[in-house]
Amino acid sequence: MTKSAHNNNRFDYIIAGAGCAGLSLVVRLLQQASTCNKRILLVDRTNASMLNKTWCFWEEVPDIFEPIVHRQYKQLWYHGKGYSQLSDIHPYRYKLIRGEDFHKYCMDLIARFHNVEVLTGEVTGMNGEGEEAQVNIDGIEYRADYIFNSILFKQPELKPNQPYLLQHFRGWFIQTTQPVFDPGAATLMDFRVPQEQGASFVYVMPLSPDRALVEYTLFSEKLLKPEEYEKTISAYIGEYLHSEYSITGKEDGVIPMTSYRFPETDGRIIHIGTAGGQTKPSSGYTFQFIQRQSQILASQLDKGERPVPSGFQRTRFHFYDTVLLRVLARKDVPGEAIFTRLFSRNRLSRVLQFLANQSNPAGEIRLISALPKWPFLKAALNQLFR
């Protein structure tokens, strides 16, 4: 980040954290006539937080980041024990955006607006009470009508009996000597890997006939040693991809899967992104929920309304997520068996609609009835009468 903050420390909006949520919101604000002239401060401790990330998500209608979609897929593979299916996902497209493209696209746009100040600094605290919100950055106070905060200052404090898992993964970008990938079809989940550590699958995003991201993901309590992830990826490539290859890059990460209800506002502070509860507890997907949340916030500001982040934490989907998370955490039924029943008994596009929190109750009953009844009923009752 190159620009420095103006002497006048009063802004219309302060965006704390220039990650996926912070940048998505700024870009939307700059695309609206009513908000593009607002004085905005964007602050982050680094400009490198997203450079080694890729974001995958699905959507029906192309949104503002369509110009930087790196790859998109009309078909997805699912592989479970004894079940493999390639499905057309119409009306959705499954898309991949590279963090570096996202960062450049947002920062290039921001650079064209002199009313946006970009600051590198450590946010140490904020206060949303009163007539204006205040944030402390490297010992200096900045004020605004609203702070949009994507910084998670402390880890969620879970209640006893609240399910919690980690989604942890390591991916290799590989270049193969043979053209073994179909660039039109990605692998959403391939459970044909050892399941001893918890629900574990491989995810394959072809980038061309001879390049792909191959990622090994687990839903479990504990992280693995780096060599354990690598051993599984290497064995998977050997068994299913059948080509010599070289590793050209790596990605790894940990996403907490929790039913904890993140606070949505603190007075004039509006929490966004993961810090605002936009990570789906049962899947870790966040990108599409961040887009929906930032769209809602930008449109409220456009109309001159007070921003209310109306996330999915208060909807029936949060209940479904928590129940699924409970079943996964208890391990009464292997994760592979749950997902294979869900995917083998329903159209994939319907499952995606459900996982995107876009289904209707009738469709949800059909989907849920495919799942093993007792473990889910027990988990649902546990959740209701905890």
Ligand X SMILES: Cc1cc2nc3c(=O)[nH]c(=O)nc-3n(C[C@H](O)[C@H](O)[C@H](O)COP(=O)(O)OP(=O)(O)OC[C@H]3O[C@@H](n4cnc5c(N)ncnc54)[C@H](O)[C@@H]3O)c2cc1C
Footprint (CB under 6 A) of ligand X, residues 284-343? 285-287, 290
According to the binding rule CB under 6 A, does residue 76 interact with ligand X? Answer: no
* Minimum gap (Å) between residue 382 Cβ and ligand X: 27
Residue 156 carries which DSSP code?
Answer: -
According to the binding rule CB under 6 A, does residue 20 interact with ligand X? Answer: yes
Please tell me the distance from the alpha carbon of residue 202 to that of residue 300, in angstroms, as a whole number. Answer: 39
Q: Tokens at residue 110, please?
A: 């921001």
| CB of 57 or CB of 236, closer to ligand X | 57
Among 40, 56, 133, 297, binds ligand X (CB under 6 A): 56
The residue assigned the tokens 């456009």 is 302
The residue assigned the tokens 């991201």 is 213
* Minimum gap (Å) between residue 280 Cβ and ligand X: 8
CA distances from 251 to 38, 140, 230 (A): 36, 35, 12
CA dihedral 91, 95, 101, 106 (to 10 degrees): 40
According to the binding rule CB under 6 A, does residue 18 interact with ligand X? Answer: yes
Binding mask 92-131 for ligand X (x = CB under 6 A): ------------------------------xx--------
By Cβ distance, which residue is nearest to ligand X? 19
For ligand X, which stretch binds (CB under 6 A), given 52-60, 110-118, 126-134, 184-192?
52-60
| CB of 46 or CB of 178, closer to ligand X | 46
Of the CA atoms within 13 Å of residue 117, those in its CB half-sphere come to 17
For ligand X, which stretch binds (CB under 6 A), given 46-54, 294-302, 333-341, 347-355?
46-54
According to the binding rule CB under 6 A, does residue 214 interact with ligand X? Answer: no
According to the binding rule CB under 6 A, does residue 204 interact with ligand X? Answer: no
Please check whether residue 38 is in contact with residue 292, taking contact to mean a CB–CB distance below 8 angstroms. Answer: no
Q: Tokens at residue 206, please?
A: 């072809």
Binding mask 249-288 for ligand X (x = CB under 6 A): --x-x-x-----------------xxx---------xxx-
| CB of 15 or CB of 342, closer to ligand X | 15
| CB of 44 or CB of 117, closer to ligand X | 44
* Minimum gap (Å) between residue 162 Cβ and ligand X: 21
- Burial (CB < 10 A; 0-12, 13-18, 19+), residue 314, is exposed
Among 22, 307, 309, 375, binds ligand X (CB under 6 A): 22
Please tell me the distance from the alpha carbon of residue 167 to that of residue 150, in angstroms, as a whole number. Answer: 20
Footprint (CB under 6 A) of ligand X, residues 150-179? 150-151
Please tell me the distance from the alpha carbon of residue 64 to that of residue 57, in angstroms, as a whole number. Answer: 14
According to the binding rule CB under 6 A, does residue 72 interact with ligand X? Answer: no
Please tell me the distance from the alpha carbon of residue 266 to that of residue 263, in angstroms, as a whole number. Answer: 7
Residues for the chain: how many in total? 386
Amino acid identity of residue 24, one-letter, is S
Strand ordering across the sheet containing 199-208 = 83-88, 75-80, 185-190, 199-208, 211-220, 164-176, 245-258
Among 21, 42, 213, 356, binds ligand X (CB under 6 A): 21
The footprint of ligand X (CB under 6 A) covers: 17-22, 43-46, 49-50, 53-57, 122-123, 150-151, 251, 253, 255, 273-275, 285-287, 290
